[in-house]
Amino acid sequence: MLFRSLDDRARGSVMNSAEYESNTCLKQKESAFKQKLKPKRLPVYDAPAAAGAALPLLTDDYAMDWAENAPDDASFGIKIRGDSMIPVIENGAVVWVKKQSTLEPGEIGIFILNGESLCKRLEYRNGGCYLISENSAYNPIRIYDTDELHVAGRVILQ
């Protein structure tokens, strides 16, 4: 109602202001979107983590790669070898990992167990700590007091 009561000059001024504000808002949204998609370089370990039998631990054998699809909180990527985490993680997939030293029960992580790397789900049951495969063909791995277990990080599922 107010707009209709304005003369042509005032209407033109309002329209110019509205167009300017609209373009500014659009540019800000576009900039934020591009920032989200901005690829970053992350280490991707060539020595895979096992989803099955354990493999030698994470080493300095990695390539810095452009991680266009990596989540913002990813610290590194690692190639998964084996079928024990199917259907959640496929054999040969690169998973993104947030480096951290602890996990909550139920989270999937990269573990170093007695010097070998594994990709498993952490669970506590019957008073014990277990590393669990998603594939029911694999038995849970019980962690004993004599084992040396380190968490390399939490797998970030997308």
Catalytic positions are: 84, 120
Residue 8, SS3 per DSSP: helix
The C-alpha torsion from 52 through 57 and 62 to 68, rounded to 10°, is 50
pTM of the model: 0.69
Q: Is the peptide bond before 56 cis (omega within 30 degrees of 0)?
A: no
Q: What tens digit of pLDDT does each residue of 34-77 get?
A: 455 567 888 887 665 655 544 444 556 667 777 778 898 998 88
Which residues of the chain are under the pLDDT cut of 70? 1-3, 6, 10-18, 20-38, 46-62
CATH code of 40-156, in short, is 2.10.109.10
